[in-house]
Chain A
Amino acid sequence: MLAASTRVCSRLASPHASSPAAAAAAAAAAAALASSPVLGSGMSGLERQPAPTVAGFGDTGRSRGADDPPPRSCSSSGESREGYQWNILPYQRQPMPHQRKVTAGLNHHVSGASCSSLYQQSYRYFSSSSDQERIQAGNKLILDLPRCVKIVEVGPRDGLQNEKDTVPTPVKVELIRRLAASGLSVVEATSFVSPKWVPQLADAKDVMEAVRNIEGVRLPVLTPNIKGFEAAIAAGAKEIAVFASASEGFSKSNINCTIKESLARYNDVALAAKEKEIPVRGYVSCVVGCPVDGPVPPSNVAYVAKELYDMGCYEVSLGDTIGVGTPGTVVPMLEAAMSVVPVEKLAVHFHDTYGQSLSNILISLQMGINVVDSSVAGLGGCPYAKGASGNVATEDVVYMLNGLGIRTGVDLGKVMAAGEFICKHLGRQSGSKAATALSKVTAKASKL
């Protein structure tokens, strides 16, 4: 029993927390806390390495049968339409106590969340069989999550586009550089829309030309029409994105045309892109609610998602534009989208305007989604409720995913640094609670 609890502890312990120095001084402990991967911060960061394959599970009591799918590794490179290969293992019930190895930060393989079986061995007392079921259900809730999640960083585009102030080109370029260096594999660089509509991104061409050669990261750009597409290609873009609404009201008020008209326009863009072998990412906005039309039927979302997918988008990102979604509305919406687009081609793009995004992301992961859009430091307010927040903060998402033992390839400390950098230039506070808390904790520790 002692061994079991030590093993459980070791999932959570960082190498530093067990040293005598850390135990002695509260200040050192606070610093250790900040660097402890277990407490979700993962500040020491995950290096971008291929994930352990199923072979690493060999000694956990879950044996791979002959019928199991071959192990697929989490790859952060390889961006064809066939997309990322994510290692989603079907959960298999074991009558014996089982352990799932969860990578906690520093490639530290330790016992994972399924320690209920350890407790059941040690404590012979159960209150009732239905509580037993609940405990097993709890296990399933967490163990069935994707092993890897791709984070699509939209700060430099969706973030900056919705900030009051405009930021100079060199700052934008530096932000993109820092984000790329933190391990993010996709960073939305800019948008080739008319500066009349989005003055904050008027320097799209300059930004694109400056970042086009950054290695190891994909840099999609928004292109609402053929003109924008051609400008993007001329500037060196290698990936583009198009945006359709699931709500007619929003489509008309936002881009001045009906959903069908916009899809026809994007079809042209997609064809042009296909000719040049440029991948296209599709966005659906207002997937839960619309500031004009109110609740949006999930069948609308399915329709638009399918159209985008059929015209050649390698991924369709579902955006809760005004942030009103809760798991009660997100689940039916995802169910509809998943009935027409394979789940691995779907991404979720939640806004934190009502504080709901992390719970929405969690439920999406439980539904099988493994691509999440977010914005460093929560850049980008909500254009429909002035002063309210918008995008969910990348740091908060990474904190949760690290805590769940889900690989992202992202170094939380480096993202936080990028967030600090851009917030300084924007003269605003970080919109990320995790970043704020971690910087307070380490600031306090460093004073001692």
Chain B
Amino acid sequence: MSSLEEPLGLGDLPKLSINRLGSFSQPSAYRRAAADDRNTRNSCNGGAPMVFHANSHAWHQQCRQADSSCDAVEVELRDLPRKVMWDLPSFVKIVEVGPRDGLQNEKGNVPTSVKIQLIHKLVAAGLSVVEATSFVSPKWVPQLADAKEVLKGIQLMPNVRYPVLTPNLRGFEAAVAAGAKEIAVFASASESFSKSNINCTIEESLVRYRDVTAAAKKHGLLIRGYVSCVIGCPVEGAIDPSKVAYVAKELYNMGCSEISLGDTIGVGTPGSVVAMLEAVMSFVPVDKIAVHFHDTYGQALANILVSLQMGLSIVDSSVSGLGGCPYAKGATGNVATEDVVYMLHGLGIETNVDLNKLMEAGDYISKHLGRPLGSKTAAALRKLTT
């Protein structure tokens, strides 16, 4: 039985004409192709027989005329893959949020040593950004009460970032004392969610974060900004993209090197995602934007795909889909890193992540939490090999 552990990528296919996808990279050519109206289709007689051309390995309609109008059919078809796959990034950075966003939303509590081991395994799998923990009051997030011990206990690898959440100056100072080199702050695009989640308005939270980011800059720390509820809010319902853009812009202007847009309750679908990204991209450069989709309604991978098509190249995900949805008890939350990596590798996009080692990390933490794997890829590959 052939090994299907790595997704079947373009490289596995025999050299068909369709592999032109790889050589196409000119946006101007795209514009030319896009300008072709669909009305150029069917310039040949509709009933002309199909002939297989051995050179191009493509079926062409055989036209009586010898002119170039017969190329219309093939051109039309070639335009489609170009249109849907053009300009996908060649490398996507995955930001692994399992140890923080994941564990923070799991029912069970995990010992400090297991958290540290998990982070080590994730880094060993090739992930270059692993959100280590959160310096919030243990009253709110008991699962991460050992933030200081975790951060101090990790063996920090070069070229790997270990951001930690710091909701206020106090948390920031604790993080710095524990050796943090990167911090993260969290604002909401929804006023109601901001009030119910962190007990203040959006503006008040931004004021607070300006203090934190000013202090961070003084210490030479990197800052990651999160925007939550970018599509929908459990209280308000749908969120206006312009509000997301506003919060993203504020976070960017106060010094965040990356802005992660979070669909906190997972209700986004590609249409609403594109609208939201368009708004944010008017203010924040695309290479500074990350997407953080929740898979609560199964929409995450489709949303990630369309984000890649829009030019984004940073994706947040959680090993084994750790972290349920706090608003629909029992429903899933974060998208599983293994599933994301499977798709990216299948698209021919580099991630530097070793899927097998990643699955090991997922197995490890799922066993300790006593919960089944939250990744379909991991579940399928595991069944195949046992």
Residues of chain A at the chain B interface (Cβ within 8 Å): 5, 8-9, 12-14, 17, 22, 26, 29-30, 32-33, 36, 38-41, 67, 90, 102, 112-113, 115-116, 119-120, 122-123, 125-128, 130-131, 133-135, 137-142, 144, 288-289, 291-295, 297-299, 302, 306, 322-329, 331-332, 335-336, 338-340, 352-356, 358-359, 361-363, 366-368, 382, 384-389, 393, 396, 399-400, 402-405, 432-434, 436-438, 440-441, 444
Contacts and interface: CB of A to CB of B under 8 A. Distances in A.
Given A38-B238, A329-B13, A339-B59, A361 B281 contact: no
Given A295-B8, A298-B18, A358-B299, A90 B39 contact: yes
Contact of A297 (B13, B21, B274, B278): B13
Given A298-B18, A368-B80, A444-B328, A5 B299 contact: no
B383 to A, nearest CB: 4
A434 to B, nearest CB: 4
Contacts of A137: 30, 86-87, 309-311
B331 A433 contact: yes
B27 A130 contact: yes
B339 interface: yes
A328 B348 contact: yes
B191 to A, nearest CB: 12
Nearest to B14: A297
Interface stretch (B135-143, B178-186, B201-209, B374-382): B374-382
B375 A399 contact: no
Contacts of B2: 291-294
Interface string B218-254: 0000000000000110111110111001000000000
Q: Which of A41, A142, A386, A387 has the most CB of B within 10 A?
A: A142
Given A40-B299, A329-B10, A440-B330, A115 B380 contact: no
A356 B339 contact: yes
B328 A354 contact: no
Given A131-B286, A327-B85, A354-B339, A142 B274 contact: yes
A119 B237 contact: no
A12 B105 CA distance: 28
Contact of A355 (B85, B237, B339): B339
B286 A332 contact: no
B126 interface: no
B302 A358 contact: yes
Nearest to A339: B59
Interface stretch (B96-104, B147-155, B158-166, B265-273): B265-273
| For the complex of A and B, 10 pairs with smallest distance between CB atoms | A326-B346, A403-B269, A12-B238, A355-B376, A433-B298, A294-B2, A39-B267, A440-B328, A396-B298, A355-B339
Contacts of B57: 299
A123 B282 CA distance: 8
Contacts of B369: none
Contact of B299 (A90, A385, A403, A441): A403
B172 to A, nearest CB: 29
Interface string B342-386: 110111100000000000000000000000000111011101100
Nearest to B242: A5
Nearest to A442: B328
A17 B236 CA distance: 8
Nearest to A322: B4
Contact of B7 (A41, A127, A324): A324
B258 interface: no
A170 B31 CA distance: 57
A115 B275 contact: yes
Contacts of B325: 437
A324 B242 contact: no
Given A9-B240, A355-B376, A433-B298, 12 more contacts: A14-B237, A33-B265, A141-B270, A293-B2, A306-B50, A325-B346, A326-B342, A326-B347, A327-B85, A339-B59, A366-B80, A382-B380
B235 A26 contact: yes
Among A126, A328, A366, A388, which residue has the most Cβ atoms of chain B within 10 A? A328
A334 to B, nearest CB: 8
A355 B270 contact: no
B85 A331 contact: yes
Nearest to A131: B281
B277 interface: yes
Contacts of B38: 90
Contact of A323 (B295, B311, B331, B380): B380
B328 to A, nearest CB: 4
A437 to B, nearest CB: 4
B85 A400 contact: no
A142 B270 contact: yes
B83 A140 contact: yes
B81 interface: yes
Contact of B9 (A120, A329, A362, A393): A329
Contacts of B66: none
Given A127-B282, A362-B270, A13 B237 contact: yes
A330 B299 CA distance: 18
Contacts of A39: 231-232, 237-238, 267
Contacts of B238: 9, 12-13, 17, 36, 38-39
B297 A134 contact: no
A388 B379 contact: yes
Nearest to A118: B242
B70 to A, nearest CB: 13
Contacts of A340: 50, 59
A395 to B, nearest CB: 8
Given A298-B16, A336-B16, A403 B272 contact: yes
Contacts of B377: 354-355
Contacts of B265: 33
Contacts of B27: 130, 133
A67 B279 CA distance: 34
B231 to A, nearest CB: 8
Contacts of A338: 77, 80
Contacts of A363: 84, 305
9 contacts: A39-B231, A41-B267, A288-B8, A294-B4, A298-B13, A326-B347, A388-B380, A433-B332, A438-B297
Contacts of B177: none
B213 interface: no
Nearest to A327: B347
A355 B44 CA distance: 40
B12 interface: yes
